[in-house]
Amino acid sequence: MLKRLLLGAAAVLAVLVLVLAVKAALFTSVQLEPQPTEKIAIDADAAAARLAKATTFKTISHQIPWEFRGSEFTEFHAWLAEAFPQVHAALQREAVNDYSLLYTWKGSEPDLPPVLLLAHMDVVPVDAGSAEGWTHPPFDGVVADGRVWGRGSLDDKCSVIGLLETTEALLKSGWQPRRTLYFCFGHDEEIGGANGAGKIAALLAERGIKAWFSLDEGSAIVEGVLPGIDTPVALIATGEKGYVSLELTVMGEGGHSSQPPPQTSIGILAAGIARLEANQFPAAVAGPLAEMFDVVGREMDMPLRGLLANLWLFRPLLQSQLANSDTTNAALRTTTAVTIMEAGTKENVLPIKARAVVNFRILPGDTVAGVIEHTKRVLADDRITVNLVEGSEPDEPSPVSSTDSDSYRLLAQSVRNVHPDFPVGPGMTLGGTDTKHYYGVAENCYRFQPFVLDSADLATIHGTDESILIERYLDGIQLFAEILRNAAG
């Protein structure tokens, strides 16, 4: 009897191993075949110097509106015209809402749907006291150790200046687009983009423009970020998370702390917050994340490739592994972050009002309404009122753009042509971008900066020592050129 049981178990195990092996063997590369490409002529030193100069303009987006300095933007605009004379002779440039810029590079076949190249000219401030921590001051535009140092060198002036650098070189070479290209450079992306990208998108819509696709920041060619793969990987983000901040308020009776109720307003609120943190949104390898594993997983080493080939069995294991890191966890679910807590004024006075703010980043598929409903259900306490934070605009998560489109294939093909060894796959943007303003204007929206960024680079975005390797910046210009030629040639 025991022998029969053991034999039966061995047979089941053998079949399982066979299924796993067959699935893994069939999980083969779907990367596009690289095509020959031509390099454009770029003067490396001059290009690096121009990007460095661009970071010296303090085009800062402040949370407090009256700290905004419009002159930094207008001086930046004036310098752009000097630095890129061919661009400014051949393209039409319009200031939108004074500080944003819309460039139109007219194609020879105006009936073709145009392409939107998005980027933003504003940068985040450097926190008071943290400037001393920089190897080179954040607004000095230093070129040293093969890098351009400065606030905005990665986010996102490398895209603004990189696109203009590419265009200047293409114009010098005599190349002209068949399809119209728009460069949409916002001035307030870091505070939501409503006055910049929002106004540009409204203007394009008003003119009846329906674009083929848009390309923005929000992802890149990442190195050392994905496990099981040694080469950099180009992740073209097809979606981005939404955003909502909720205010939780509890009103207490107040009074002397010598005769307290069993729970003060602080205790009620704290218990509610503890329940919210203990009851996170469900995790799932789904949407763009699942698509990424399906495409890029094929390029990974064993045993990871075998695991990803057999998600029918290993999905729970993968999910629990991804949930262990804050970064990958954020790709798995709508996240819950308690960011503000305010209550109490005196040690012997019962608090009247207790207030907390919880910031949620919403996965495509969830909604703002769904987040509010989840929050009320988990709190399960009528004494806690839930409202949208006043003055903070919620954003629904993005629609997910297609990976089975000509425009996605064009981007993937362009990467493969310039970097034949780098795999390309879809991805998702965990933060927010200006793209959210263009859903109605572009058929598909992709987020991809054509630069190689490693995990150390990524840590400097919005942080200390923001800088870009010149070599990688120049490679990015070549990839921009390939994308423009393939999109409009």
Q: Is 165 in the site for Zn ion (CB under 5 A)?
A: no
155: annotated active-site residue: no
Q: Is 156 in the site for Zn ion (CB under 5 A)?
A: yes
Q: Is 155 in the site for Zn ion (CB under 5 A)?
A: yes
Rounded to the nearest angstrom, the gap between the alpha carbon of residue 121 and the centroid of all alpha carbons in its chain is 16
Q: Which stretch binds Zn ion (CB under 5 A): 216-224, 272-280, 309-317, 445-453?
A: 216-224
Q: Encoding tokens for residue 219?
A: 């992802």
Q: How far is the CB of 189 from Zn ion (least distance, A)?
A: 5
User: On the CB side of 210, how many CA atoms lie within 13 Å of its CA?
Assistant: 2
CA-CA-CA-CA torsion sign (287, 288, 291, 296) = negative
Q: Which stretch binds Zn ion (CB under 5 A): 51-59, 168-176, 214-222, 245-253?
A: 214-222
Q: How far is the CB of 217 from Zn ion (least distance, A)?
A: 5
C-beta closer to Zn ion: residue 161 or 285: 161
C-beta closer to Zn ion: residue 155 or 294: 155
Size of interface with Zn ion, in residues (CB under 5 A): 3
Q: How far is the CB of 156 from Zn ion (least distance, A)?
A: 4
Q: Is 168 in the site for Zn ion (CB under 5 A)?
A: no
Q: How far is the CB of 237 from Zn ion (least distance, A)?
A: 13
How many degrees, rounded to 5, is the angle at CA 129 between CA 126 and CA 133? 80
C-beta closer to Zn ion: residue 305 or 361: 361
Q: How far is the CB of 422 from Zn ion (least distance, A)?
A: 22
Rounded Cα distance, 446 and 118, in Å: 10
x/- map, 34-63, Zn ion, by CB under 5 A: ------------------------------
C-beta closer to Zn ion: residue 30 or 461: 461
**Torsion, Cα of 431, 435, 439, 444 (10° steps):** -100
Find the catalytic residue in 122, 223, 240, 457. Answer: 122
C-beta closer to Zn ion: residue 180 or 435: 435
C-beta closer to Zn ion: residue 423 or 476: 476
Rounded Cα distance, 397 and 418, in Å: 32
Long-range contacts of 71-74 (CB under 8 A, 24+ apart): 73/98, 73/99, 73/121, 73/122, 73/187, 74/98, 74/99
DSSP code of 175? Answer: -
Q: Is 122 in the site for Zn ion (CB under 5 A)?
A: no
Q: Which stretch binds Zn ion (CB under 5 A): 150-158, 191-199, 232-240, 380-388?
A: 150-158
Residues 334-363 that bind Zn ion (CB under 5 A): none
Find the catalytic residue in 155, 188, 189, 216. Answer: 189
C-beta closer to Zn ion: residue 155 or 299: 155
Residue 216 · residue 186 · CB < 8 Å: no
Q: How far is the CB of 376 from Zn ion (least distance, A)?
A: 33
x/- map, 78-117, Zn ion, by CB under 5 A: ----------------------------------------
DSSP code of 325? Answer: S
C-beta closer to Zn ion: residue 217 or 366: 217
Q: Which stretch binds Zn ion (CB under 5 A): 27-35, 135-143, 211-219, 396-404?
A: 211-219
C-beta closer to Zn ion: residue 238 or 433: 433
Residue 432 · residue 212 · CB < 8 Å: no
Question: At 238, is the secondary structure helix, strand, or coil?
Answer: strand
Rounded Cα distance, 220 and 306, in Å: 26
Q: Encoding tokens for residue 31?
A: 């990367």
The CA-to-CA distance between both ends of the chain, in Å, stands at: 73
Q: How far is the CB of 59 from Zn ion (least distance, A)?
A: 12
By C-alpha distance, which of 182, 154, 190, 161 is closest to 76? Answer: 161
- Strand intervals (E) in 7-138: 92-96, 100-105, 115-120
Report phi then psi at 178, rounded to 5: -85, -40
156: annotated active-site residue: no
Max CA distance (Å), the chain = 89
Q: Encoding tokens for residue 35?
A: 């095509």
Ranges of H-type helices in 91-241? 157-172, 197-206
Rounded Cα distance, 442 and 387, in Å: 33
Distances in whole angstroms, Cα of residue 413 to Cα of each of 308, 407, 423, 433: 24, 10, 10, 24
Q: How far is the CB of 61 from Zn ion (least distance, A)?
A: 10
Q: Is 188 in the site for Zn ion (CB under 5 A)?
A: no
**DSSP state letters, 390-445:** TT---BPPPPPPPSSSHHHHHHHHHHHHH-TTS-EEEEEESS--GGGG-TTTEEEE
Q: How far is the CB of 105 from Zn ion (least distance, A)?
A: 23
Binding residues (CB under 5 A) for Zn ion: these are 155-156, 217
Known catalytic residues? 122, 189
